[in-house]
Amino acid sequence: MNNREEEEKEIQSTEEVENVENVGEEVLVSEEDIKDNEEILVEEKVMESEEIKKEKGFGSRLLASILDQVFCVGISIILLFIISAIIHMIGYRFVLIGKYNMFIIIYIIVNIFYAPIMTASKLKNTFGRTLLKL
């Protein structure tokens, strides 16, 4: 056991001497090496951001989806009132069953266009995903 301990101490002292000797040396690096290192750093940052996104579990994604659907329902209700007011100004009215049917149609249309429009906007994400930082 004493021999092992002595060998480990020698290795440590050799490493310390090498570290001290390399402190004053200048290292020449080519521009290609620098560019390669920058590309590696960028790739590492992308991988880290993907890992952060993967850390968000099923529950947070489900909550974001529910928030998006609540937003779509709100938009659909507002559009239903606007369309109902326009039709009322023309002289017609929705029957109660017709309002439900019209709401479903408007909701489906809003739901189809919501995600593509939001991802194409400045936010680059839906409101639910933005609020939960997904």
pLDDT tens figures, 52-77: 556 678 889 999 999 999 999 999 99
Give the whole-angstrom CA distance, residue 14 versus residue 8.
10
pLDDT of amino acid 75: 96
Residue 20 has pLDDT above 50, yes or no: no
Summary mean pLDDT of the chain: 77
**Token pair 């850390």 in the structure block, residue:** 55
Give the whole-angstrom CA distance, residue 98 versus residue 103.
8
Angle between helices 96-120 and 58-90 in degrees, nearest 10:
130
Higher confidence at residue 21 or residue 123?
A: 123
pLDDT of amino acid 87: 87
Give the whole-angstrom CA distance, residue 86 versus residue 19.
81
Give the whole-angstrom CA distance, residue 124 versus residue 118.
6
Residue 89 has pLDDT above 80, yes or no: yes
Give the whole-angstrom CA distance, residue 42 versus residue 5.
43
pLDDT of amino acid 17: 47
State the pTM of this model.
Answer: 0.56
Average pLDDT over residues 68-92: 92
pLDDT of amino acid 100: 87
pLDDT bucket at 50, cuts 50 / 70 / 90: low
